[in-house]
Chains A and B, each alone.
Chain A
Amino acid sequence: EIVVTQSPLSLPVTPGEPASISCRSARSLLHPNGHNYLDWYLQKPGQSPQLLISLASNRASGVPGRFSGSGSGTDFTLEISRVEAEDVGIYYCMAALQTPYTFGQGTKLEIK
């Protein structure tokens, strides 16, 4: 099992300001095909999780351009260029290289 660790676990942000979440994997998520198998999900209050980013940096359909993912190997980052009120929720990274797929503990983003 690949352990993934997120930080911070709580993230208060002023609207319009940037935000950044880190995800570290205990093992490299780089596949021989050159892709990093790391996803980001957002669970808004009262909703199911939704896919934000796949393969470390590919925004899912409909995801606003203010969201971006980066990183390779064991270190990954989700960045929000300018936080909006609708971005509140819990952000999870997930290692998708092999089963069992594993999630980070979650980062709760709240508006200051």
Chain B
Amino acid sequence: QVQLVESGGGVVQPGRSLTLSCAASGFAFRSYGMHWVRQTPGKGLEWVAVLSYDATKSSYADSVKGRFTISRDNSKNALYLHMNTLRPDDTAVYYCVKGSSTSFDSWGQGTLVTVSS
């Protein structure tokens, strides 16, 4: 079955960087677009970024554009989110999500990122 396991979350100071990882298994990772979605108590669910199956196309939410970079390593079945210049409002649970052609059909358990001094 599909498994998505996020890691790399933690407490980080404002302005610093952090990289999240997602280990994928149970499906042909190299054939699917992958997303990051985050969730905060105050703002609910927010789509963050998507990367195509072959890493040639990406798209970002305006709130993270220019600060976050999504990447993948198909040889390792891994997805990444490189987060720079973190702000307190980036505090959230970050989910790694497998995309189908029309929806988000599998979600990881999430990793908590807390941006605080």
- A, B: real partners: yes
Q: In the complex, what's the smallest C-beta–C-beta distance from A72 to chain B, in angstroms?
A: 15
Answer yes or no: B14 CB below 8 A from chain A CBs.
no
Contact between chains at B46 and A39 (CB < 8 Å): no
CA distance A74 to B5 in the complex (A): 35
Of B46, B59, B103, B110, which is within 8 A of A99 by CB?
B59
Contact between chains at B102 and A35 (CB < 8 Å): yes
CA distance A39 to B105 in the complex (A): 10
Indicate whether A60 sits within 8 Å of B105 (C-beta atoms), given known contacts A48-B95, A99-B50, A99-B59.
Answer: yes
Answer yes or no: B27 CB below 8 A from chain A CBs.
no
Answer yes or no: A96 CB below 8 A from chain B CBs.
yes
CA distance A103 to B46 in the complex (A): 7
Contacts of A96 in B (CB 8 A): 102-103
0/1 interface trace, chain A 77-112, chain B, CB 8 Å (1 if under):
000000000000000101010011111011000000
Contact between chains at A48 and B110 (CB < 8 Å): yes
Q: In the complex, what's the smallest C-beta–C-beta distance from A14 to chain B, in angstroms?
A: 27
Answer yes or no: B116 CB below 8 A from chain A CBs.
no
Contact between chains at B44 and A48 (CB < 8 Å): no
Of A37, A50, A100, which is within 8 A of B107 by CB?
A50
Contact between chains at A48 and B108 (CB < 8 Å): yes
Contacts of B59 in A (CB 8 A): 99-100
Binding site for A on B (CB under 8 A): 44-47, 50, 59, 61-62, 95, 100, 102-110
Extra contacts besides A41-B45, A103-B45 (11): CB < 8 Å: A1-B62, A35-B102, A48-B109, A49-B95, A51-B105, A54-B103, A99-B50, A100-B62, A103-B44, A103-B46, A106-B45
* 6 nearest A-B residue pairs (beta carbon): A54-B103, A48-B107, A101-B47, A103-B45, A99-B59, A39-B103
Could you jot down 11 A-B contacts, CB within 8 Å? Answer: A39-B103, A48-B95, A49-B45, A51-B104, A54-B103, A55-B102, A60-B105, A92-B44, A94-B45, A103-B47, A105-B44
